[in-house]
Structure 1
Amino acid sequence: MRNTFKGLPRALHHVAYESGLVVPGADGRAFTADHYFPVDPGDFPTLLVRTPYGRGLPWAALYGLLFAEQGFHVVLQDSRGPLGGPDSWRAEAADGHAAVAWLREQRWFTGVLGTVGPSYMGYTQWALAASPPPELRAMVIQVGLSRPHDLYYTGGAFNLETALVATTMAVHQSRGLGAYLRAAIRAQRRMDKAARDPSIKDAYVSVLGERAAVLEGVLAHPDPADPFWAGTDLTAVADGLRIPTALISGWYDVCLDQTLRQHSRLVRSGAPTSLLVGPWTHTSAFDKGIKDVFADTLGWLNAHLRDDKSGLRPTQVRVWAGDGWRDLTGWPPAGNVRRHVRADGTLGDATSHEPIPLRQDPADPPPALGGPRLGPRAGAKDNRELETRKDVLTFTSEPSTRPFEVLGPVRCEARISADGAGADVFARLCVVDTQGRSTNLCDGLLRLNTAPAGPVDITVPMSATARMIHPGERIRLQLSGAPSPRFARRPAGPSVVSVHRASLVLGSAGD
């Protein structure tokens, strides 16, 4: 088994486990748990991992085996999970406290507790931290979720592909690895066809293989202020939190923005915190990034559960910048670069006032290419073929004469008008290398379901990135309609968006 995890620290202990333990939930519902532990004598801290995805592979290896080998009791426990929708999400806090109450009754529990886990397992950690038990000493939230609405919607558009892949995982992974792999292959084969169907509520069934009540509810309640979402947003848990919390994400992780938002709040609250962002997607952090993710996680847990700080890195923030890691004292660094789009397809210091037409047809949208999505098509991709489409505008800077770094949030500020029945503005930052290859760094979408009566000023948040731009390389802004199947199609017909002016802003405050 350890051959799968080459490059990780050697095992310090032999491991045993007991399976099928019954842990009562807050309402008396029974949850099943597996307990992994070192067989050597001694007192060891405990890690609680609450998962909706089943307790088998890969979680049994990634958490049960690997961390028990490093000297932890690991309790891998089933949770209610996302399929139950808001009622289940709101119950995670009480269930977490019920699990801790069960731990107190175990003879091996020393009262020193940490939590760890990715994605929805991050959500269960935030839920427990909303009113942290006294035993909780540290958390490591990997590619974690804190606000469910943001997983399903971006800029007013339904994140079709991510929602369907996430639900496929939640439905089928707990049924066994074979069932999940078959379902995942079916989902990818049917995704593009489903995205062309104007009725998402019917089309998703062909992808998922069955109906899912949670998707019905999510589709019926797109507004985050709707009572449907009440009590599900755990963003504010980071405010005033004192639990040492490490955050791990990737530049192409669907939860990156949530991670960066929580990091900022933790810094303001004064909590001990660290941030690691690598060149990863939501899933590749545990494949290509496993060595760095495991080292960061283990170092944090040892420091705060054992008072062994030998594995901590020297700075609070470490980010991948394309050609290596950057250790920073904080995120984001101050200062920005602003470039204006021009009608001749360039980016420059001066703005162009000639309106630039951007044609959109929701029945024939640009294909989704890479970016922060769930599934195998996520990540950094060569955009050159995409950029030949007439409905994709590109604006490119002159080649850089000196190296400079893009560090921090990115946004597009524009003044637009539109005919037709609404408009999408999808903005993407790419770096163009000396061979002409255009690689996406970050992007964002804003959907206007009704066409503005006149020119309006908009801002399209484009997430964040870190990238060294080398001499001879150029930066490029893409503008287009919403790419498919990443986003659900806008229901109205074709439109023409007039871009009266637009600016690409690289970096944070300091305008």
Structure 2
Amino acid sequence: MSTSTKTPRQRFLEDPIRKAHEDPLTAFETGIPMRDGIELAADVYLPIQASRPAPAIVQSTPYDKSQSIFFRTEAQFFQQRGYVVVVHDVRGRGKSEGCWRAFVNDGPDTYDVIEWIARQNWCTGKIGTTGLSYAGWTQWAAASEAPPHLSCMISTSAAGRWQQEIPYTYGVFQLYFGWWAYLVRRRITEMHGLEEHDWETILQKLPISSIGEFMNPTGKTWQDMLDHDTLDNHWKSLRFDKRYGDIDVPCLHVTGWYDMEDLTGAFHHYEHMMETSPARNNQRLIVGPWSHINCRWPHSSYGGIEFGSEAAIDMDEVHLRWFDYWLKGNQNGVPDDPPVKIFEPGKNAWLHTDHWPLGDKEKLLFLRFDGKTGDLSDVPPPTDDPEQSYRYNPVDPAPTRMDIKKYPLEDIPLDQTLVESRPDVLSYSSEALLEELVISGWPHLTIYAASNCEDTEWHVKITDVYPDGRSMKVTQGCLRASYRESLEKPSRLVPGEIYTFDIELWPTHHVFLSGHCVRVTITSSDFPWFARSMNRFG
């Protein structure tokens, strides 16, 4: 009797190059060794023989590389245009070895993937990265490690400011991560919708940690998020605020005005790279009227608004042009492009400019209340303006307009009229505009408020009120009251005491047309996108 032992890499195809010759559009699967001996599973798409060696495009995923047609379709697009494409499962996901803890190992691991590819005889050593969401963030994790062969990036809808964006927004937990953790688990087994569970009941569960039982085997990641509810060392290690000055990589930043999952990250990365990076002249920003997923595959409508065919730009061609310049040296005019390309909702047209934010002056608007209605005006309120109050009930929180049984959550209605009619929502509206008004940048709302509880939340929206009465969301923001002074050390409220709360809203660029009104609303919940506050500290 004889026995044989295979090395980990022999778990994959024995003769990948021969296989690639036989079927050029089929990926070969291989193992990529990490510095600690763990191997990550990767699909490698080689271009036709005449195009090798070739520059490579790399994408990381926690969603199982073998179960998404998007990976194959995108890879084959670039493969047929003279690129090697490598899609790999992150540590502990799909066929990759090791234990997965979201975001923890992605920097060193992606560095090792890039440098391993650079050593292969089918690669020129010029390597770019691409990816959406999780795969957008892993690029920054890798870039912060400074891999020598990383030549450029296209980072789409990537997280930037942990604990200010996700999984907490200024102390408010995004319950949306329940869907995300669940989908990560399902993509490792089989793809089904969310209909098999009664999510309306599941998301009502208390404490929130009990929802983790539906996330296994990603329950640890879920619990990590709950355990680290302040800006502690766990989250600080994932932020690059002090490292952008060392990242010398051209990057195309992409996001969408209606990306509820992470709009702000791209702006954070772009702004910091423009401030401190040696590659500041090689940064570009594109922002369309898109949701999270549609930042990569744009549509022309969202949430009940049709923006016109120009909104649905061909992102394949945008990506190809970027890579052709930085990886192949094609003189296609990329350096001459304006740094910022943003879509203007309202006008429904693209605007090209050389800077962000666009606003050249700050405009103050005041919340006024005459005892009956709330107004939004550039005239300060009188000192005797009456106070307003509402009763927040965690059993009946103000809702997010969404179908929680559907994923991706990609077309959430923008019209807030029904939510605004609730007694626990304060509303302040301007007069009908006599001329266009453009809001551009990071809006902030300062309120002076008290609660009869030791903690609560503030959820704020700016909406565009159409002449027909629709109140269409433009941007939003939130703050847990105990985080008003610090994300690291929250402090309880003294019931009845008045505090100053500064609430940051998501960046926006929106044109309010003549005849429309600007509206600001304030309440204490946006459930189930965000977990409901129980008004308790800690």
Could you say which TM-score interval applies, normalised by the shorter chain? 0.7 to 0.9
Q: TM-score, with normalisation over the residues of structure 2?
A: 0.81
Greater Cα shift, 322-331 or 378-387? 378-387
In the superposition, relative to structure 1, how do residues 378 and 419 fare at CA in structure 2: closer, same or farther (>3 Å)? farther
Contact 1:81-1:88 within 8 A present in 2 as well: no
Q: Does 1:283 align with 2:286?
A: no
Rg (Cα) greater in structure? 2
SS at match of 1:77: strand
User: Quick one: which amino acid aligns to residue 363 of structure 1?
Assistant: V
In the superposition, relative to structure 1, how do residues 267 and 445 fare at CA in structure 2: closer, same or farther (>3 Å)? same
Cα shift at 1:418: 1.5
Whose RCO is larger (CA < 8 A, sep 6+)? Answer: 1
The equivalent residue for 1:483 is 526
Greater Cα shift, 165-174 or 290-299? 290-299
Contact 1:126-1:237 within 8 A present in 2 as well: no
How do 1:177-326 residues align onto structure 2 when only pairs under 5 Å count?
Answer: 179-182=190-193, 184-186=194-196, 189-190=198-199, 192-206=200-214, 208=215, 212-225=219-232, 227-229=233-235, 231-253=237-259, 254-268=261-275, 269-271=277-279, 272-289=282-299, 291-310=313-332, 312=334, 314-322=337-345, 323-326=348-351
- Percentage of pairs with the same residue: 22
Counterpart selection for 2:104 from 90, 95, 117: 90
Instruction: Map Cα deviations across residues 443-488 of structure 1 (whole Å, 9 max, x no partner).
Output: 0111125434522111111111111111101111011111111111
Counterpart selection for 1:440 from 467, 473, 481: 473
Number of paired residues?
470
Q: TM-score, with normalisation over the residues of structure 1?
A: 0.85
More strand by share: 1
Counterpart Cα distance in 1 of 2:139 and 2:423: 46
In the superposition, relative to structure 1, how do residues 264 and 141 fare at CA in structure 2: closer, same or farther (>3 Å)? same
SS at match of 2:91: coil
Counterpart Cα distance in 2 of 1:249 and 1:455: 37
Counterpart Cα distance in 2 of 1:247 and 1:168: 27
In the superposition, relative to structure 1, how do residues 68 and 86 fare at CA in structure 2: closer, same or farther (>3 Å)? closer
Counterpart Cα distance in 2 of 1:201 and 1:81: 22
User: Quick one: which amino acid aligns to residue 24 of structure 1?
Assistant: P
Q: Does 1:27 align with 2:36?
A: yes
Q: Does 1:156 align with 2:171?
A: yes
In the superposition, relative to structure 1, how do residues 338 and 277 fare at CA in structure 2: closer, same or farther (>3 Å)? same
Counterpart Cα distance in 2 of 1:432 and 1:67: 43
Q: Does 1:129 align with 2:143?
A: yes
SS at match of 1:229: helix
In the superposition, relative to structure 1, how do residues 283 and 104 fare at CA in structure 2: closer, same or farther (>3 Å)? closer
The equivalent residue for 1:362 is 394
Counterpart Cα distance in 2 of 1:252 and 1:374: 16
The equivalent residue for 1:171 is 185
SS at match of 1:463: coil
Contact 1:82-1:214 within 8 A present in 2 as well: no
User: Quick one: which amino acid aligns to residue 64 of structure 1?
Assistant: A
The equivalent residue for 1:109 is 123
Greater Cα shift, 322-331 or 62-71? 62-71
Cα shift at 1:319: 1.1
The equivalent residue for 2:503 is 460
Counterpart Cα distance in 2 of 1:90 and 1:202: 23
Cα shift at 1:97: 2.6
Instruction: Map Cα deviations across residues 347-367 of structure 1 (whole Å, 9 max, x no partner).
Output: 112233321113211121001
In the superposition, relative to structure 1, how do residues 211 and 20 fare at CA in structure 2: closer, same or farther (>3 Å)? closer
Q: How much is the aligned-residue C-alpha RMSD, in angstroms?
A: 2.6
Cα shift at 1:309: 4.2
Unaligned runs of 5+ residues in structure 2 are 1-22, 300-311, 483-491
Segments ≥4 residues shifted beyond 4 Å = 81-88, 377-380
In the superposition, relative to structure 1, how do residues 336 and 193 fare at CA in structure 2: closer, same or farther (>3 Å)? farther
In the superposition, relative to structure 1, how do residues 300 and 339 fare at CA in structure 2: closer, same or farther (>3 Å)? same
Contact 1:369-1:377 within 8 A present in 2 as well: no
